[in-house]
A = this chain, B = another copy of it.
Amino acid sequence: MAASATILDVAKRAGVSPATVSRVMNGNSTVDASMAIRVKDAARELNYTASPLARSLVLRRTQTVAVVVPDLGNPTFQEILRGISRAAAHDGYHVLVADSAEIIEEERVLAIEARRRTDGVILCAPRMSEDELNKLVGELRPLVLINRDPREGTPIVAVDYRSGLIDLLEHLYKLGHRHLAYLAGITRSASNTQRLEALHEFRQRHDDVLVDEIPCGVGFQEGADAAEKVADSGATGILAYNDLVAMGLLSSLETHGIRVPQSVSVVGFDDIPFAPYTSPPLTTASVPAAEVGEQAWMNMSKLLNQKAPAESIYFRPVLKARGSSAKNPERN
């Protein structure tokens, strides 16, 4: 394709001024009908479309938003990205993705760079410190935050990890488990704080239960590696940081000859698409990640159009009881 036609080419061919072409292309003001047709014909013949770049520069609007995630390999972020992408596309917006690859130091410049090429950013940065985040907020606006604590003037879309975890804890409690273990993921993540609160609340509520906390990561391997510690703990109900960890643990437990759910119950968090297909199928708290993404876009859209005020939104996970959790054998 030769360098594509410019507005001047079209103007020349239609025998009008570029301004008129612009008006026609934008369905703007009232242009004489016959003239409009001439312009449209010329545009079609030349296969003309206005340069998005030039438009962006003058309109100060790129029709693009940036999505910054900590790990494109994590199913939850993938799903959020998908939700955003679909919703944004529906509104004629494009999506620029930036994967910080869990390198927290890079997140800042990554986000700022992405912001400069777009009209706003949707930021998933669970591990970024509060301080750093607060400093960034100003430079990123319009900004929508995902899974962070609310802050002045910035809409958040978040999952209520606290209640999700409580549901899981109560689920195990009802099944007769009195010795639990929580495989803690990233300690300084915002959501982990909420989960610790849940543990606290749960302990207050039930004084006949013991909940160990076992340090752990956020992926398969780390879940698998935790099997020994889990076995040693003597707990019969295990709450994994997320489904990935739970799956790793499940797999490793089997290798160690520990049967789930006969010997111990294991529950995850997130309900990633694969959770129903593990063996046994994973009990977990279902997080509507795609919807989180969709709502994040909705908020961004409001910010962009200044129409409705954007507002923070919280999703309450729903418990999915499946095969990986069962009655505590020691109590029957």
Stretch with Cβ within 8 A of B (4 or more), from A54-62, A125-133, A310-318:
A54-62
Contacting pair A248 B277 (CB below 8 A): yes
Question: Measured between alpha carbons, how far is A11 from B286 in the docked complex, in Å?
Answer: 55
Min CB distance A271 to B, Å, is 14
Contacts of A95 in B (CB 8 A): 96-98
Which residue of chain B is the closest to A83 with respect to CB atoms?
A: B72
A143 → chain B closest CB, angstroms: 11
Q: Which residues of B contact A138 (CB under 8 A)?
A: 1
Q: Which A residues between 82 and 131 are near B, CB-CB below 8 angstroms?
A: 82, 85-86, 89, 94-99, 101, 113-114, 116-117
List A1-51 residues whose CB lies under 8 Å from chain B: 1, 4, 49, 51
**Please, how many angstroms separate the alpha-carbon atoms of A114 and B64 in the complex?**
11
Binds B, one of A73-81, A156-164, A165-173: A73-81
Judged by a CB distance under 8 angstroms, whether A228 is at the interface is no
Tell me whether B64 and A73 are in contact (CB under 8 A).
no
Interface residues of A in 274-292 (CB under 8 A from B): 274, 276-281
Per the bound structure, the CA–CA distance linking A273 and B220 in Å amounts to 9
- A53 CB contact (under 8 Å) in B98, B117, B139, B277: B117
A82 cross-chain contacts in B, Cβ below 8 A = 72-73, 99
Q: Give A72 to B80 CA distance when docked, in angstroms.
A: 10
With a CB–CB cut-off of 8 A, which chain B residues contact A114? 94
Cα distance, A94 to B110, chains bound together (Å): 10
A236 on interface, CB distance cutoff 8 Å: no
CA separation between A220 and B273, bound complex, in Å? 9
Write the nearest CB–CB distance from A245 to chain B, whole angstroms: 12
In the bound assembly, the distance between CA atoms of A220 and B281 in angstroms comes to 14
A80 to B116, CA, bound (A): 26
Contact B116 A99, beta carbon cutoff 8 Å: no
Q: Is A141 an interface residue (CB 8 A)?
A: yes
15 contacts between A and B (CB under 8 A): A1-B141, A49-B116, A51-B57, A53-B57, A54-B57, A72-B82, A72-B86, A73-B78, A82-B99, A86-B99, A89-B101, A94-B113, A95-B98, A97-B97, A247-B277
